[in-house]
Amino acid sequence: MDITKQTYEREEVVEKYYDRYLTAPEYFEIDIPKLVKTFPGKKLLDVGCGPGQFSRIFGENGFDVVGIDYSKAMVKKAKSLSSDENNPSYRVMDMKEVKKYFKENTFDVIWASASLLHLEKTEIPIVLKSFKYILRPRGHMYLVIKLGEQGTVLLKDGDLGEGVVRKFTFLNEKWFENLLDGMNFSIIEKRLKKGSVIGGRPSNWGHYWVKSQ
Ligand SMILES: C[S@@+](CC[C@H](N)C(=O)[O-])C[C@H]1O[C@@H](n2cnc3c(N)ncnc32)[C@H](O)[C@@H]1O
């Protein structure tokens, strides 16, 4: 099993992640009310939902939310925090397989906060293409990625404590924007936020709010 997935299957890591990033929306300074008003429909997929911070917020704001995560432990935690068992609905699923489970044009919005960063660089174009397939025309995506010197680093003892190993892929800003452009996604809003130094490499958070043509 992939080392990052193994890490996210550990219940103590899930608890640590939950305690630390329960406040992810504030941490990322995301203007949720503005997004809620502007998104072009209510059917939202939260990719790599983790403990479901964003799934719950959108569910409470009238969205019909499906949260997916490849970690059973994360999905279990997300479900335990939900007061409505149907919305958000959570499923254990690898984002690389969304096309197997969802039909074309299923979602109005795809939300992926800090989850694409665990893919290999070569997997990102394939996954974005499958997102485009399940997103309806003129649907929106909100992607939070790590920008920096392009490549994958193994983080051993980071924000989740000693012995917690995860892989992170940093992307080059221009490379990523060309990729979006080539797939006919136009940028509605882009924000950069200073991130931490991982494996000796400085990183920035890139927030890309984009629209499919
Ligand atoms: C850094 S956490 C982000 C969680 C949440 N979205 C947030 O913003 O706090 C990354 C999450 O993505 C999930 N993940 C990583 N790779 C995945 C994949 N290929 N398919 C589905 N989930 C994945 C992990 O299990 C983890 O819950």
- Ligand 1 and 95: CB distance under 6 A: yes
Q: Which atom of ligand 1 is nearest to the CA of 28?
A: 8
For residue 129, the enclosing domain spans 3-212
Q: Which atom of ligand 1 is nearest to the CA of 95?
A: 20
- For residue 161, pLDDT beyond 90: no
Q: What is the CATH number of the domain that holds 159?
A: 3.40.50.150
**Rounded mean pLDDT of the chain?**
94
For 87-139, write each residue's pLDDT tens digit: 999 999 999 999 999 999 999 999 999 999 999 999 999 999 999 999 999 99
Amino acid 30 reads I
- For residue 7, pLDDT beyond 90: yes
- Ligand 1 and 94: CB distance under 6 A: yes
Produce one character per residue of 126-141: b if its CB has 16 or more CB atoms within 10 Å, e if not.
ebbebbbebbbeebbb
- Kindly give the distance from the C-alpha atom of residue 187 to the centroid of ligand 1, in angstroms, as a whole number: 23
Q: Which pLDDT does position 163 carry in this prediction?
A: 83
What's the structural domain count of the chain?
A: 1
- Ligand 1 and 208: CB distance under 6 A: no
Instruction: Choose between 138 and 20: higher pLDDT.
Output: 138
Helices (H), 135-212: 173-182
- For residue 195, pLDDT beyond 90: no
Q: Which pLDDT does position 25 carry in this prediction?
A: 76
E-assigned strand segments in 161-200: 166-170, 185-198
Radius of gyration of the chain (CA): 16
Q: Which pLDDT does position 81 carry in this prediction?
A: 95
Question: Mean pLDDT throughout 68-92?
Answer: 96
- For residue 24, pLDDT beyond 80: no
Nearest CA to ligand 1 atom 25: 71
